[in-house]
A = this chain, B = another copy of it.
Amino acid sequence: MDKLLPMSRPTIMDVARKCGVSKTTVSVILNDSPASARVPVETRDRIRAAAEELGYRPSWRGRVLASQKTHMIGVIYAPPMPLIVRGNYEGIMAGIHQVLQEQGYHILFVPLGEDTAHWAGILQDQRMDGALVLSRFQEPLASTLMRVRMPFCLVNADSDLPVHRVLADDYGGSAELVRHLCDLGHERITFLLGKQPGHYSITRRVEAYRDVMRARGHERFVSVLEETVPQFVDRIAAEPARERPTAVITYQHFMATHLLQKLWDAGMRVPDDLSVGSFGNTFPVEHTIPPLSSVALPTEEMGRAAARLVMQQIQSAEAIEPRRVVLQETLTVRRSTAAPPAEG
């Protein structure tokens, strides 16, 4: 095992003394700043060797104060979203992380708790260089971010304010799913929304559903339900088969997974008796029984795009015109959707 670092770590002064040069020169060399080109190679090597030998590493604390940069990017989200998010946020976080890591930046989680003063303080205290806002962008977050002049970008959230944001085309994705079901011959298609917190995707997905249903002449079967999965299954199980929907769309794949199970419990077969389609493309959509037909959000790309927008703002001198980036969703047909039952 390597020897312990001495109790008091070496500082830049220790390296400078050891080499008989100034702190300036050490800093310049170790940071590869432009000025280092003018330092003779011999000196450079000597400094690097000394740093190595002493086990010197520039203190991030000192550097942060002097350089006025922390290389940390806040990821701001509202509970009850858990710290470790599932579903779409897995991909979004992976995309964010990838871009930040490439650029030597780190993520700082900022949950928007009850105590507004607490999180507002964190946004104001200069500990991050920029931020990504997940899912929801509303007061008092909006005005706090503007006030502290922090570069930021929304991910999977929209806004009427002129701010950078990266969205999924939820209208297009939903329309594609409904069209797929209609093409299979379904007419009685129900949208099982459940109780959802307000999110822009809800409106878009439901709107596309209504529009396609109308365009295909199934307007009379439009039905957007806020029931829970068990309520829904219990209710349709009690209905005569010919009145039941022949296809159900759920708002996200957690609900779809639950729905498949409850239908199985109630003896309704998917897709023979009922087709099920949903949104989301993460585990376990491929491993449900049957595998789930679902609309994938381009989550990693969303995360990457948003992270890049923040990095650009940080790195460019002048303000960048706010951009609204909308990325396509794509339907993957698996085995939970099929033609409706014959007597349907």
Chain A residues with CB under 8 Å of chain B are 1-5, 7, 9, 55, 57-62, 64-65, 68, 70, 82-86, 89-90, 93-94, 97, 101, 106-109, 111, 121, 124-127, 142-144, 146-149, 254, 257-258, 260-261, 264, 283-284, 287-289, 291
Contact = CB atoms under 8 A, between A and B. Distances in A.
8 contacts: A1-B143, A5-B147, A5-B149, A57-B124, A82-B94, A84-B89, A106-B109, A284-B288
Contacts of A111: 101
A143 B5 CA distance: 11
A60 B129 CA distance: 12
A293 to B, nearest CB: 15
Contacts of A83: 93-94, 97
Given A5-B124, A84-B85, A257-B287, 16 more contacts: A1-B143, A61-B65, A61-B70, A62-B65, A82-B90, A83-B97, A84-B93, A97-B109, A101-B111, A107-B109, A254-B283, A260-B287, A261-B291, A284-B284, A288-B289, A289-B289
A286 to B, nearest CB: 8
B4 A149 contact: yes
A179 B70 CA distance: 54
Nearest to A1: B143
B57 A143 contact: no
Contacts of A147: 1-5, 55
A110 to B, nearest CB: 8
Contact of A289 (B1, B106, B260): B260
Nearest to A98: B83
A321 B123 CA distance: 38
A182 B62 CA distance: 62
A10 to B, nearest CB: 11
A61 B287 contact: no
Contacts of A149: 4-5, 7
Contacts of A254: 283
A109 B84 CA distance: 12
Contacts of A65: 61-62, 64-65
